[in-house]
């Protein structure tokens, strides 16, 4: 027995000498066994050691599973227990006569001491609790964001690969309201200058006459053959002037057309939509247009195409108020000028402005995610061959047209982290206008009744300029 203890002590000393470079990482704790026959619980971290001291000399030691824990006797009262792999085993201590001194329940767990230190260094402000379970690591508590929770999980995987249990919850604000602004300006400028010459008949019923036409007046009087030639039925006479004169048997009529048109179109849409972090939200304010679709069996089915203001997005709160935004936005309208006709069916076209992108920005920041500037220019000059080149009089045989269209579009997105508010603090657009009573309508001439009283009525009287339904941080 003495020789056996001597050999074990020598082997233990040799092992400690070979592993000297990592000796600073191993810390030995002490468990004292005070009573005969009692069971003790000994927790040992993997690759760490614990010293067990007995209050009386022992003669024999045994461990059920040496693959989990290894033992060596340092003296007749001291035992060195080394954790090798996660698990549980039993250390039995007998005296010199073979009587039981005690059983020690040895539980070897993953070493989380270093992991806890690294976790505090990397995420110092996070309230994350670390525990061991069998041969794995259990993380619980609250992380301030999804990104920081993922960092803790990635770090735990380095110490217990594929044995990490996530019981953490994500705190902070996880709801995002997206405000999108579509702004478009369209400008159109057109100019036309034409001249026509005709002879014959009795012009304007006299020797010399002048007649002007505008788009607001009735069509010019068709009093003779010349005017009928210059103003055929169905021709718009806006910006036209008819000049005629008689010279004996010769009647001459001159038609001058000069037209200038300008137009501006302003389009503005501001959809707002709220979604939970990581969840998709959809918004459509408009309608659906029926489109006939031909099938292989020569039948026609109806497919509905949406139009209006469309918004689809998936927000992800990354860290604090940093938001990753994956979105699709579009504004469309029916365009009857570019439709097609098939047999007895007429299908209108669509004007559509859309964008699809992924951006990253903080709460309250704005991003111009799309912009478009178009400038279309068209001009046309026509004339009668040779006659249009005659000086001065050649202007009567020429016509010129000028058309310019400009369009400017910008799409701006602004995300906000929001929290719900109490229902009585919300106001609807219908709260400000209520149906009138018969007394208000017939006797007082009011087309709307008196707003409701109470908290909702006071809120309804306010002039809201911000977003409805949420509290912005």
Burial 307-332 (b: 16+ CB within 10 A, else e): bbbbbbbbbbbbeebebbbebebbbb
Please answer whether residues 283 and 326 qualify as being in contact, where contact means their C-beta atoms are separated by less than 8 angstroms. Answer: no
pTM over 0.95: no
Using alpha carbons, select from 335, 286, 328, 292 the residue that is nearest to residue 307: 286
Beta strands in 206-319 (DSSP E): 208-213, 240-247, 250-269, 272-276, 281-294, 300-319
User: What CA–CA distance (Å, rounded) separates 213 from 371?
Assistant: 43
Residue 286 neighbours by CB under 8 Å, 6+ apart:
306, 307, 308, 309, 310, 332
Q: Of 368, 333, 339, whose CA–CA distance to 352 is shortest?
A: 333
Say how far apart CA 173 and CA 320 lie, in whole Å.
Answer: 8
DSSP letters of 332-357? EEEEEEEEEEETTEEEEEEEEEEEEE
pLDDT of residue 221: 40
Contact of 396 with 195, CB cutoff 8 Å: yes
- pLDDT attached to residue 357: 92
Whole-angstrom distance, CA of residue 202 vs CA of residue 225? 7
Please report the pLDDT score of residue 251 as a whole number: 63
- Residue pair 211/279 in contact by the 8 Å Cβ criterion: no
- Quickly count: other Cβ atoms within 10 Å of residue 224's Cβ: 17
d(CA 328, CA 209): 63
CA-based radius of gyration for the chain = 45
| Assigned fold of 40-109 | Immunoglobulin-like (2.60.40)
DSSP 55: S
Please report the pLDDT score of residue 414 as a whole number: 92
Separation between Cα atoms, residue 12 and residue 6, nearest integer Å: 10
CA distance 192 to 400: 6
Entry field: residues in the chain: 473
- Looking at residue 321, its pLDDT comes to 83
Distances (CA, A) of 469 to 314, 425, 426, 472: 20, 8, 6, 10
- In the three-class reduction of DSSP (H, G, I as helix; E, B as strand; rest coil), residue 159 is classed as helix
DSSP 92-122: EEE-TTS-EEEEEEEEEE---HHHHHHHHHH
For residues 343 and 348, give the distance between their C-alpha atoms in angstroms, rounded to a whole number.
14
pLDDT at 250: 61
Query: What confidence score (pLDDT) does residue 133 get?
Result: 78
**Could you give the angle at the alpha carbon of 221 between the alpha carbons of 216 and 224, nearest 5°?**
155
Domain ranges of the chain: 40-109, 112-170, 178-183+264-380+398-418, 187-261, 422-467
Instruction: Determine contact, residues 88/105, Cβ cutoff 8 Å.
Output: yes
Residue 3: its pLDDT value, please? 42
DSSP state of 46: T
Q: What is the pLDDT along the chain (473 residues), one digit of tens a residue?
A: 444 544 444 444 544 443 333 333 334 455 665 444 445 778 888 888 888 888 888 888 888 888 888 888 888 888 888 888 878 888 888 888 888 888 888 888 777 888 888 888 888 888 888 888 777 889 998 888 778 888 899 998 888 888 889 998 887 778 899 998 888 888 888 887 776 666 554 444 444 444 443 333 333 343 444 445 444 544 455 666 666 666 666 666 666 677 778 888 777 888 888 998 889 999 888 889 898 888 888 788 888 989 888 889 999 888 778 899 999 988 888 888 888 887 777 888 888 888 899 999 999 899 888 887 888 888 888 877 877 777 877 776 778 888 888 888 888 899 999 888 776 667 676 766 677 888 888 888 887 766 655 554 555 555 545 444 444 44
What is the C-alpha separation between 328 and 311, in angstroms, rounded?
Answer: 6
* Assigned token pair, 33: 């066994």
CATH number, domain 112-170, options 1.10.357.10, 1.20.210.10, 3.90.870.10, 3.30.70.1770: 3.30.70.1770
């Amino acid at each position: 027995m003495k020789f056996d203890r001597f050999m074990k002590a020598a082997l233990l000393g040799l092992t400690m000498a070979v592993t000297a470079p990592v000796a600073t990482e191993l810390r030995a704790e002490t468990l004292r066994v005070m009573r005969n026959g009692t069971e003790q619980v000994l927790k040992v971290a993997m690759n760490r050691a614990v010293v067990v001291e007995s209050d009386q000399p022992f003669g024999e030691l045994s461990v059920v599973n040496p693959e989990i824990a290894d033992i060596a006797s340092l003296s007749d009262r001291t035992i060195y227990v080394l954790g090798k792999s996660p698990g549980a085993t039993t250390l039995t201590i007998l005296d010199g006569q073979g009587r039981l001194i005690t059983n020690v329940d040895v539980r070897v767990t993953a070493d989380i001491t270093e992991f806890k230190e690294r976790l505090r260094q990397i995420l110092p402000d996070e309230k994350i609790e670390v525990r061991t379970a069998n041969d794995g690591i259990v993380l619980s508590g609250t992380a301030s964001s999804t990104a920081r929770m993922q960092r803790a999980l990635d770090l735990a995987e380095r110490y217990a690969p594929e044995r990490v249990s996530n019981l953490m919850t994500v705190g902070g604000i996880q709801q995002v309201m997206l405000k999108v602004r579509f702004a478009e300006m369209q400008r159109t400028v057109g100019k036309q200058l034409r001249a026509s010459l005709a002879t014959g008949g009795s012009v304007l019923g006299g020797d010399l006459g002048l007649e002007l036409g505008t788009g607001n007046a009735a069509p010019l009087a068709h009093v003779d053959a010349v005017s009928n030639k210059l103003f055929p039925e169905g021709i718009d006479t806006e910006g036209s002037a008819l000049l005629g004169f008689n010279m004996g048997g010769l009647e001459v009529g001159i038609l001058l057309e000069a037209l200038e048109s300008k137009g501006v179109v302003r389009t503005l849409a501001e959809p707002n939509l709220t979604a939970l972090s990581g969840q998709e939200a959809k918004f459509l304010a408009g309608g659906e247009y029926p489109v006939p679709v031909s099938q292989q069996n020569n039948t026609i089915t109806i497919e509905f195409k949406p139009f209006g203001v469309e918004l689809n997005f998936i927000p992800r709160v990354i860290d604090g108020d940093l938001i990753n935004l994956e979105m699709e936005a579009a504004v469309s309208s029916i365009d009857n000028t570019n439709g097609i006709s098939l047999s007895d069916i007429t299908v209108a076209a669509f004007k559509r402005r859309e964008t699809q992108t992924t951006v990253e920005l903080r709460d309250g920041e704005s991003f111009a995610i799309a912009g478009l500037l178009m400038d279309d220019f068209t001009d046309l000059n026509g004339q009668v061959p040779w006659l249009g080149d005659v000086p001065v009089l050649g202007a009567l045989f020429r016509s010129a047209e000028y058309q310019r269209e400009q369009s400017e579009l910008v799409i701006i997105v602004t995300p906000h982290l929001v929290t719900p508010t109490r229902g009585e603090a919300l106001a609807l657009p219908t709260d400000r206008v209520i149906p009138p009573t018969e007394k208000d309508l017939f006797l007082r001439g009011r087309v709307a009744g008196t707003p409701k009283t109470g908290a909702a009525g006071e809120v309804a009287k306010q002039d809201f300029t911000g977003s409805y339904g949420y509290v912005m941080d």
